[in-house]
Structure 1
Amino acid sequence: QVTYRAQGLYGLALGFNRAWTTLDPTDDENWRTERVCLGEAAYGGDVRVQLAAPEEHPSCFDDPQGDIEVDRLDIVLAELGECPKAGEALNGTADDGGGGWQWETTGAADAGFVEGVGRLGTSGMRLAREGGDRAVAWTKLSVPTSESLRSPALRFWWRGTAMLQFKFQIGRFDQIGSGAAALPIDDPYGTGSDANYLYCLPPWTHGNVVDLIFRPFVDISMEASELVIDDVEVVSDERCGASTDVLDPGFDAGPARIMGVTHLSPYTAATLRTEPSLSRTEDGGVLELSYWNEAAVMWFETWVLVPESNGDEGPALFYWSNVPSVNEKPIRSVLGRAAVEPAILSAGGGWQESPPICLPPGWSGRWFRIQWRLGDLGTMGTAPVEPPIRIYIDDLELTTDAACPAE
């Protein structure tokens, strides 16, 4: 339990060893007290507790003015039903009367447990909305450390209205109209039929307690939509690999879903392809980003544990990309939520290794966001692109490099 003020930045990050939680910024002089469930990373023995900014704020690069004040930090007992056990979700089976889940709605939207709508006719968490009304539901998930459960993955059952989009997020819920402390899992389209999705859980979640957040998407059509969630669980899946500083760096976890995708148009797809011939070394998986319309916009992100500098060599990320010479949309890498240091991926010529993506040395030992952005917001025109354009990314590598600042 922490009492704090955080202004002029993205909030307060509270870390227990490698497990970090982002708390909301404060917009006035009042102190805020928040409770954070501690996961397995904080259990037993000495724990390194850290307080910091969650990410680099845009003001950091010209006139830094962020301010964090912490008045009190206590370790307290959780209330009954407040925090899940390691490896479990609060009421993952969405049983009516089982508690655990929380939800918010606006207008005439509806949310809650409903008997008979879940998997195999059981109870499920149901969200229904129409027009501009919104609905969101979330529950907590305690991800084991990789020592307790090798290659942890998230699996859940869901059903959504056919042809309409939904938003799945992970992190911490703040308010119904905002996702500032939540990170993308996926923006899938419903089919009207049952689906059982599996996502490899990134290392930043290992040993942590996170909110799983589910929202029907409110688009320009304002069509009514329904979303049902059931059977949320943590499982072990060897396809997720054993990397502890970046999730699945070789993109070998297919056909599992890829986590970290934001679809900002209906003309894009992100897929973990399993055909070895498509990968850089022709012996593993690869990430495919595809689009089929000139209005396509999509973001994909991953989080890396920034390595320590090595002498005069600063922390860096390298990756390989294969962008076809005929490419209608620019694709670039950017750093952090502030989206700085944009670097266009070169088109044509087959597989190419990126220049070093320099990571901030002050972030060593902490998690940092890397994002690839396809297309630009506000793009005009909706002409189809035929055949679809397919871009490939493979083999992320964290290292140090003399071209990057060491301090």
Structure 2
Amino acid sequence: MKVLVVGNGGREHALAWKLLQSDKIEGVVCVPGNGGTASMEGCENVKLAVDDFHGIKEVALNHEIAFVVIGPEVPLAIGLADYLKQQNIRVFGPTQTGAQLESSKSWAKGFMKDIGIPTAQWGVFTEDEKTAAFEFVDRYGAPIVVKADGLAAGKGVTVAATVEEAKAAIVAAFGGQFGMAGECVVVEEFLHGQEASVLAITDGETIRPLLPAQDHKAIGEGDTGPNTGGMGVYAPAPVVTDEMMARVETEVLQRAIAGLKERGIDYCGILYAGLMISPEGEVNVLEFNCRFGDPETQAILPLLETPLDELMLACMEKRLADFPPLRWKSGASACVVMASGGYPGSYENGKTIAGLDRATEAGAIVFHAGTELKAGELVTAGGRVLGVSAIADNFDNAFAKAYHAVDCIDFEGAYYRRDIGHRVRTM
């Protein structure tokens, strides 16, 4: 059978790569894909926008696609899954109502409050309520967190170190920094601890958690500077112990699925909980996402032994409860993101990428994100360009392998953090 993957990032390259490992998958079509998927045997790119509903439907029908996997949050938020299901095309990914968990932070916060999922204290404000937002900031003090309510490509969160910085972030959001996503803001109390990501696959009834991961959102070493979509990640995250994972599954994931079902939302796909784990072991949900994480996917999928297509089909056919336990490789996985110089601000595209073969020969798996194949040459075409992943028997060896491969790759202005995994590396 053939599968269609919607999206053009590193996550989608990883999904296509993993699907093609199954002996039941004849080929993968990526819409629009990137330079990595264009170069991968068994994979074909079709240049369409992710919001071209009719075009994606036609590709699915013309290629006799068995099912569609929607990678990014935007097409989910605007109802691509709903549209395709109306055309009797099977989809792995939640409907528009389910995607509200990610597309509206205020909706998600209210949902968590209603069903008893622990989360930070918060307030929701529009531009007309700017004075009230400032008063909220004054009441809680700094540090404090300001979030654009809508989708902002992972860059809509400001962890303000001072009251003045928080108020400036509110003004910037209302001033159009994040477009329509910032017309409403969520201001939250700051929670201390370590962040972790727990992704689970679900058919709307049953939850199967994947390995926990821990990413690095800040652009600068030492977790400094503005947030990005993610500069690196590792799995399984030791901060999420087996005992804690059991609590997260029961008190967060299963409770969320039950709450969605109570609201008449049939949720099929990935439920992703972004967690804050306090030094005392308390767990709060910072946010929910409605899709595979990026770059978490690039660290988790290399460790997954269960065929991904079989797992997805079990979800779409509502038989996840009877599916065998997931199988995982032992050891650790690491991913280091290489970005364009200037990211997450302005940057230039079209820079020739060299050394990918040497990186692969060094034992890494190089997932493309912002790349394009032009006249047979791979060039940069985005902020986050590559995710260089490696697996090994422990974190030290996994990161050593990943960074050795990073050193093999070159493009003008390449930037990456050298301290990814600093919490688990001893080297």
TM interval, shorter chain, is: under 0.3
Which has a greater percent of helix? Answer: 2
TM-score (norm: length of structure 2): 0.25
Determine which structure has greater relative contact order: mean sequence separation of CA pairs < 8 Å that are 6+ residues apart, divided by chain length: 2
Which has a greater percent of strand? Answer: 1
